[in-house]
Amino acid sequence: ETGVTQSPTHLIKTRGQQVTLRCSSQSGHNTVSWYQQALGQGPQFIFQYYREEENGRGNFPPRFSGLQFPNYSSELNVNALELDDSALYLCASSFDQTGREQYFGPGTRLTVT
Amino acid sequence: AQSVTQLDSHVSVSEGTPVLLRCNYSSSYSPSLFWYVQHPNKGLQLLLKYTSAATLVKGINGFEAEFKKSETSFHLTKPSAHMSDAAEYFCVVSDPAGFQKLVFGTGTRLLVSP
């Protein structure tokens, strides 16, 4: 166990809806990254937050947004859900933005119908 | 840009036989490389990492990997497979684009038969 927790475990939403996923970082970690893992594929980087600021983003549209709070917990928000957003969403925390070791939570399985 | 290629989508071994999971990398920097394992319905667990120290890296659960710059490879090995090793394995390179972004391979599913 890494100490990174995510909620909820599973979620079913309808196309066009909005969703919020939550992540609690490992103690002492001030950086959180979010990844999307589609079925049968490797995780894809969405974005990273360091000390409450987004400091890096992958090839995802603006309807994917995030927040990091003073206690370093984090949210991933997805607006206008599409069927292709169905995936496992993973968050990972690290000691800082240069930390080479990222510790992953168990993920949230999102199904969009 | 950094990338990794996992050469096998599936590898099948018998319990007690050696495991070899192959990974080639592409990097314009001195890379940081990792192997992660994902068991069904579980998150990703770090097996081992290479960060320009010793080229032979030992990880958890008896796994090790050797960094070979001349071959741009970072293959994962284990002398003797156990049933509990059955899982998805990801080779990963860190892209230091001002922050640490992990770039994952497509994964290798390891099947272990009795």
CA distance B61 to chain A (A): 15
CA distance A90 to chain B (A): 8
| Chain A CB contacts of B99 below 8 Å | 48, 50, 55-56, 97-98
Place of tokens 């497509």: B106
Predicted pLDDT at A3: 85
Predicted pLDDT at A99: 57
Predicted pLDDT at A72: 83
Q: Which two tokens stand for residue B50?
A: 């290479």
Predicted pLDDT at B19: 98
DSSP A59: S
Predicted pLDDT at B94: 86
Predicted pLDDT at A14: 98
- For A29-47, give one letter per residue: b (16+ CB within 10 A) or e: bbbbbbbbbeeeebbbbbb
Q: Are B29 and B96 in contact (CB under 8 A)?
A: yes
Looking at the partner chain, which of B43, B98, B100 has a beta carbon nearest the beta carbon of A90? B43
- The one-digit pLDDT tens for each residue of chain B (114 residues) are 789 999 999 999 999 999 999 999 998 777 889 999 999 877 899 999 998 778 899 999 999 999 999 999 999 999 999 999 999 999 999 876 666 788 999 999 999 999
Distances A11 to A20, A22, A24, B43 between C-alpha atoms, Å: 10, 12, 18, 16
Q: How far apart are CA B96 and CA A76, in angstroms?
A: 23
Q: Angle at CA B38, nearest 5°, toward B62 and A58?
A: 125
Predicted pLDDT at A55: 86
| CA-wise closest residue to A112 among A48, A38, A41 | A38
Work out the percent of chain A whose per-residue pLDDT is above 70.
94
Work out the percent of chain A whose per-residue pLDDT is above 90.
72
* pLDDT at residue A64 greater than cutoff 70: yes
* pLDDT at residue A27 greater than cutoff 60: yes
Fill in the amino acid letter for B34.
Answer: F
Question: In chain A, whose CA is at the least distance from the CA of B4?
Answer: A42
Find which of B38, B44, B90, B103 to mutate to test the A interface (most A CBs within 10 Å of its CB): B44
Summarize chain A as % helix, strand, coil (round to 5): 5, 50, 45
Distances A90 to A11, A46, B1, B19, B57 between C-alpha atoms, Å: 14, 10, 23, 27, 26
* Inter-chain CB proximity A43 and B94 less than 8 Å: no
Predicted pLDDT at B4: 94
* pLDDT at residue A60 greater than cutoff 90: yes
